[in-house]
A = this chain, B = another copy of it.
């Protein structure tokens, strides 16, 4: 397939690179030409910084920009590529946002957390595809199958719910690690001591219902420890950690004493 990419952020980088192993990346478009060039160089594509020079002789255009920009960008890509299949890669953006301006619209959503300096295990990354036309859905499914063993045809409502769950499972659990690091940093204790615990907790959640795997003072209803921890977080600098401690402990306590 001949594919162009709009965007040069984390998702654009990872997607362009893996696609370039089996397909031709024709153009990389980014307002910042330097960023477009650095990605284009990696995938042997042309770098452009505006919509007019978009080459319409392609099979697919992938919009991998911030969610907020999708509705603006689709109008401009549509103007240059009115007959091309155009997808976005967002978990939290309804397909409607594209179809309001473009008929051959679809979604190509990888459910993973991307960092520029980490490799992605694409074959185990769930990919969710959606399209207005059945033919386009087939094209996206074939493309997704070339990357991953886990391809699903989901509608926007299912995808949005999955993305919301991902915020809890990924963004919020990462913030829990961040808060844990703040606690030990304040006492010059080494955060790496918590690594085995972090990994085992995550492993457990993929093998059992996490509700049944809950441990800790709140789950046991140990009010003495809960009070002690709350007072340990009474420093002005840790007032936010204390708020989280109170809310989550209260909810865990309620969830596990109600059963």
Contact = CB atoms under 8 A, between A and B. Distances in A.
A194 B169 contact: yes
Interface stretch (A29-37, A55-63, A137-145, A178-186): A178-186
Nearest to A191: B165
A248 interface: yes
Contact of A201 (B169, B243, B245): B169
A211 interface: yes
A241 interface: yes
Interface residues of A, number: 90
B204 A174 contact: yes
A164 B177 contact: no
Interface in A42-85: 66-68
A197 B112 contact: yes
Contact of A181 (B191, B197, B211): B211
B178 A165 contact: no
Contacts of A150: 193
A175 to B, nearest CB: 6
Nearest to A186: B161
A193 B201 CA distance: 17
B251 A175 contact: yes
Given A168-B241, A195-B206, A217-B92, A161 B181 contact: no
A198 B173 contact: yes
Contact of A216 (B171, B191, B225): B171
A133 interface: no
Number of copies: 2
A203 interface: yes
Given A66-B222, A194-B111, A248-B175, A202 B202 contact: yes
A17 interface: no
Nearest to A216: B171
A1 interface: no
Counting chain B CB atoms within 10 Å of each CB, the highest count among A165, A171, A179, A203 belongs to: A165
Contacts of A251: 175, 240, 243-244
Nearest to A114: B215
Interface string A135-160: 00000000000000010100001101
Interface string A83-99: 00000000010000000
A181 B209 contact: yes
B206 A184 contact: no
